[in-house]
Amino acid sequence: MSSYVYGRNSFFEALKQGRILKAYVLNDKEIKGKNIPYQICERRYLDKLAASGNHQGFVGEVKEYKLSTVEEMIRDKNGLIIVLDGLEDVHNLGAIIRTAECAGADGVIYKSHNSVKVNDTVAKVACGALEYVKVAEVTNLVNTLKELKKKGYWVVGSDGLAKQMYDELDYDMNTILIIGSEGKGMSRLVREECDFIVRLPMNGHITSLNASVAAGILIYNIISKRRQ
């Protein structure tokens, strides 16, 4: 089964990485001379290839995305790995990967079962970031956390009932940031592996943020703390 990237940013970032096998476009103004096979198509055909997603006139058939390994993400100092515990929404995954790339995080890890996975929609939402962020799929998150802790990482989870505020922690350490599922948050076993649990302030009537929004705030707080 063919895999596609669509949307201008995702398309051209995949093109830079040499992953485009064939391009399907409304016109060839921007790809002429790029040394890739292409086909000029009607918009409705592009709509079909992109499963009615917002392709902006660019769809590319791509080589299969190659997942990374956890070992490739490990650093000696001030590492930052994002671990997703049961995330279910492809848009949240794409947005988190995009934020991770912009912030310079070392990678994103999710579990291989009962969790969202990289697909065409994730690539579109990530706006090209998927070409640069290391993404690993593991069978057991708890075992992965245990192994990373042995290598000097500290695990930070978030929970609305935590006593410590998100900006009170010193992040001058190799950090694993846990983002729980949209409905249930962190699982019990993952929570037990946390060295710290922090919370975001909730001053309105709604008591939780979208997972990708919360991830963005937490990730950039870590980056900001390290710059002080």
DSSP string, 31-87: TTTSSS-EEE--HHHHHHHTTT---TTEEEEEPPPPP--GGGG--SSS-EEEEEES-
Q: What is the mean pLDDT of residues 101-115?
A: 95
- At residue 228 the predicted structure's pLDDT band, cuts being 50, 70 and 90, is confident
Model confidence pLDDT, tens digit, residues 117-163: 998 889 989 999 999 999 999 999 999 999 999 999 999 999 988 99
Q: What is the mean pLDDT of residues 222-228?
A: 92
**Cα R_g (the chain), whole angstroms:** 19
The mean of the pLDDT values for the chain is 94
211-227 helix and 90-103 helix, angle to the nearest 10 degrees: 10
Percent of the chain with pLDDT over 70: 99
Q: Residue 1 pLDDT > 60, yes or no?
A: no
pTM for the structure as a whole: 0.88
Q: What is the DSSP letter of 153?
A: -
Q: What is the mean pLDDT of residues 193-217?
A: 93
Phi, psi values for residue 136, rounded to 5°? -120, 145
Q: What is the mean pLDDT of residues 25-46?
A: 94
In this prediction, residue 141 carries a pLDDT of 97
Q: Residue 57 pLDDT > 80, yes or no?
A: yes
How many Cα neighbours within 13 Å face the side chain of 89?
A: 14
Q: Residue 52 pLDDT > 90, yes or no?
A: no
Q: Can you give the length of the chain in residues?
A: 228
Q: What is the mean pLDDT of residues 42-59?
A: 92
In this prediction, residue 16 carries a pLDDT of 92
In this prediction, residue 2 carries a pLDDT of 63
Q: Residue 180 pLDDT > 70, yes or no?
A: yes
- At residue 207 the predicted structure's pLDDT band, cuts being 50, 70 and 90, is confident
All structural domains of the chain: 3-62 (3.30.1330.30), 70-227 (3.40.1280.10)
